[in-house]
Amino acid sequence: MPLLIDGHNLIGSGAIADISLADEDDEAKLVARLRVWRSKAKDRMTVIFDHGITGGRSIGLSGAGVTVIFARNPQDADDLIRNRLHKAGKGLILVSNDAELRRTAVGAEVEVWRSDEFVQRMQTKVRKKGAAAATHEAGAESHVNLSEKEVDEWMRLFDKGSKKSSKKRKKK
């Protein structure tokens, strides 16, 4: 099921011990963690944050099944989430501790998970998929398994060429 995540609410909840609103890169850290969880859980995720430098979808942070959206002034994340809840209906899960958003979700027949419940569910899914033990928190890995296609894409992105072109260079 698709997940709609109240980003700063999740960070501020303390449910993820090593990510804090005091961190300068809190949004990027959360998105990195969500990508790892999403790779194991396969649930599409949309995370909405309060005001960023520019509003709208963040192309730089979005990817790997996680869509990142920043609210544009004068709106805040709650406004965007409320709009999506009214349009979505059944088949969506809201992740938030915000009491008003939770009431809106229930009225729109949207399932609601508290932040700590969401984190616990994601950690359980990751462990069931054969990931590292709970002491090695998802998203804090020093490595991530990528397919050959993903490696080629990253290599092209960073102008290092694909594996095929790397093999050609090695032969020379």
pLDDT per residue, tens digit, the chain (172 aa), is 899 999 999 999 999 999 999 988 899 999 999 998 888 878 899 999 998 666 778 878 898 999 999 998 888 999 999 999 989 867 899 999 999 999 999 999 999 999 999 999 988 877 776 644 444 444 454 445 666 776 777 677 766 544 444 444 444 4
pLDDT given for residue 108 in this prediction: 92
**Could you tell me where in the chain the CATH 3.40.50 domains are found?**
3-141
pLDDT given for residue 131 in this prediction: 45
Work out the end-to-end distance of the chain between its first and last CA atoms, rounded to an integer number of angstroms. 50
CA dihedral 120, 44, 92, 62 (to 10 degrees): 100
CATH class of 3-141: alpha beta
